[in-house]
């Protein structure tokens, strides 16, 4: 039996022999070991990968619906059929998916822009939760719904769930599925980031949700987009950086800087990861922007809408913004803090303390953390304040019910 910790240690890496980057989830790691038919050690994996071409291994992995990609340069990425098929796709795609009367505003003077809006947040890990967190910061009653059967990332979940309420439902359980169907009928936004087609099979695809709740905005986050050769493939930020050319470009820029300053680059790897999940964060904010735009259309035009964003489309958009010179990026820029604790002075200056939310009555008590320190929301609105909010600190702190609308 392969232990999760050993899988994480040995398989979450980029192996230079085949230039393949892999998954972070244990089920995917087990699948990769099964393909390679080797022991779950770094040496064994590297040796097994050496007998594959990176492109062939990528194809076999995707055929099995797992996550691993070949590392490419921008030039190689642009030659991929998917890149050619999606090069003109919008970074935020909005389409009408149903008819509905125009949303009527109550005329109440709200403290925040999204007060009274109800959001069902069925997302995990980063980009989707960042979107839901942003909507909550602007006043939406955001209910994060996760499965008790899927792994969690507690420290990340604490940050991305602030301002939300959290509950867990097993959609394979008829009673829990019925509960979600009931929540949909009174929701304004349905936000999901599961694998392409994953929720359609359970009856929660865009058209099904729009039929159950005319006037809803359905937010979809995918890895590669709604069209193209890879539209059904699974993926996440690190994979898109690799397959999309970012890692190679970062490595080359750093080499150029070191060479220009008299350094030796003989032992430098041909790939270099970004120091943060830039695609995740940017895509989450773009999705929030698209959802707010679609909500405005429900007021001015009526109808139900799907908003689709993808990590791949965000990557193309980021590339279109241009590049810093190696000198500016690595010499003139401020270096990253060497550690997270204690907080760097600059980071502390734009951080805030978030208190733990009180769980709903009737919910079994969980761990007590009291508070966390987190980066403040960036947006400063001219008329409505951004809500700092509280953090549930767990994924099952609340009942699956809506709050009363203001």
The 3 state secondary structure assigned to 172-224 is CCHHHHHHHHHHHHCCCEEEECCCCCCCHHHCCCHHHHHHHCCCCEEEEEECC
Which tokens sit at 71? 């590392």
3 or 134, which is more confident: 134
The rounded distance, in Å, linking the Cα atoms of 189 and 275 is 32
Q: Supply the pLDDT for residue 209.
A: 98
Q: Above 90 in pLDDT, residue 92?
A: yes
* pLDDT score at 329: 86
SS3 335: coil
Closest by CA to 161, choosing from 192, 214, 196, 125, is 125
* Sheet of strand 20-22, all strands in order from the earlier edge strand to the far edge: 14-15, 20-22, 68-70
Per DSSP bridges, beta strands 93-98 and 304-310 are antiparallel
- Domains in the chain and their CATH numbers? 1-70 (no CATH), 86-339+393-405 (3.40.50.10540), 345-375 (no CATH)
Torsion sign over Cα 78, 84, 86, 88: positive
The answer to which of 169-173, 201-205, 229-233, 388-392 has the lowest mean pLDDT is 388-392
- What H or E segment, with its residue span, contains residue 34? helix 26-36
Rounded to the nearest 10°, the torsion over CA 355, 132, 91, 291 is -130
Choose the weakest-confidence range: 14-23, 253-262, 308-317, 325-334: 14-23
Pick from 179-193, 201-215, 377-391: least confident: 377-391
- The radius of gyration of the chain's CA atoms, rounded to the nearest angstrom, is 22
Residues 243-262 pLDDT 10s: 999 999 999 999 999 999 99
- Residue 125, pLDDT score: 86
Query: Over the range 300-318, which residues count as b (16 or more CB within 10 Å of their CB) and which as e?
Result: eebbbbbbbbbbbbbbbbb
Q: Provide the 3-class DSSP secondary structure of residue 138.
A: coil
112 alpha carbon, distance to own chain's centre:
25
Task: Report whether 291 contacts 189 (CB < 8 A).
Answer: yes
Instruction: Identify the pLDDT of residue 4.
Output: 35
How do strand 141-146 and strand 118-122 relate by DSSP bridges? parallel
Predicted pLDDT at 27: 67
pLDDT score at 119: 99
Q: Is the pLDDT of residue 62 over 50?
A: yes
Q: How far apart are CA 76 and CA 83, in angstroms?
A: 10
């Amino acid at each position: 039996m392969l232990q999760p910790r050993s899988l994480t240690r040995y398989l979450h890496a980029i192996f230079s022999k085949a230039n393949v980057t892999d998954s972070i989830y244990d089920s995917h790691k087990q699948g990769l070991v099964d393909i390679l038919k080797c022991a779950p050690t770094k040496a064994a994996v590297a040796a097994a990968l050496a007998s594959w071409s990176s492109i062939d291994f990528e194809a076999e992995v995707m055929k099995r619906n797992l996550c691993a990609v070949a590392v490419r340069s921008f030039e190689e990425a642009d030659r991929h059929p998917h890149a050619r098929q999606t090069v003109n796709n919008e970074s935020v795609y909005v389409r009408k998916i149903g008819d509905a009367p125009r949303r009527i505003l109550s005329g109440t003077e709200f403290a925040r822009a999204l007060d009274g809006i109800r959001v069902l947040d069925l997302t995990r890990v980063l980009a989707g939760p960042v979107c839901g967190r942003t909507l909550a910061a602007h006043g939406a009653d955001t209910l994060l719904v996760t499965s008790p059967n899927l792994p969690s990332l507690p420290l990340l979940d604490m940050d991305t769930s602030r301002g939300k309420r959290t509950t867990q439902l097993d959609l394979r359980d008829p009673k829990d599925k019925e509960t979600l169907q009931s929540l949909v009928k009174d929701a304004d936004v349905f936000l999901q980031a599961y694998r392409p087609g994953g929720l359609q099979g359970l009856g929660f695809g865009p058209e099904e949700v729009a039929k159950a709740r005319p006037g809803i905005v359905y937010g979809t986050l995918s890895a590669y987009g709604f069209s193209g050769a890879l539209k059904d493939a699974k993926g996440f930020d690190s994979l898109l950086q690799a397959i999309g050319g970012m890692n190679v470009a970062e490595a080359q820029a750093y080499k150029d800087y070191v060479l220009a300053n008299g350094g030796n680059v003989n032992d430098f790897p041909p790939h270099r990861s970004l120091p943060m999940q830039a695609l995740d964060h940017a895509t989450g904010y773009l999705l929030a922007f698209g959802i707010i735009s679609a909500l405005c259309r429900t007021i001015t035009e009526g109808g139900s809408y799907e908003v689709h964003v993808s990590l791949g489309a965000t990557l193309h958009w980021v590339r279109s913004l241009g590049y810093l010179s190696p000198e500016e990026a690595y010499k003139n820029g401020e270096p990253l803090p060497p550690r997270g604790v204690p907080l760097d002075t600059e980071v502390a200056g734009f951080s805030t303390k978030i208190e733990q939310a009180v769980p709903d009555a009737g919910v079994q008590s969980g761990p007590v953390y009291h508070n966390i320190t987190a980066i403040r929301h960036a947006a400063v609105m001219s008329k409505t304040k951004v809500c700092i909010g509280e953090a549930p600190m767990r994924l099952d702190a609340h009942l699956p019910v809506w709050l009363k609308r203001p």
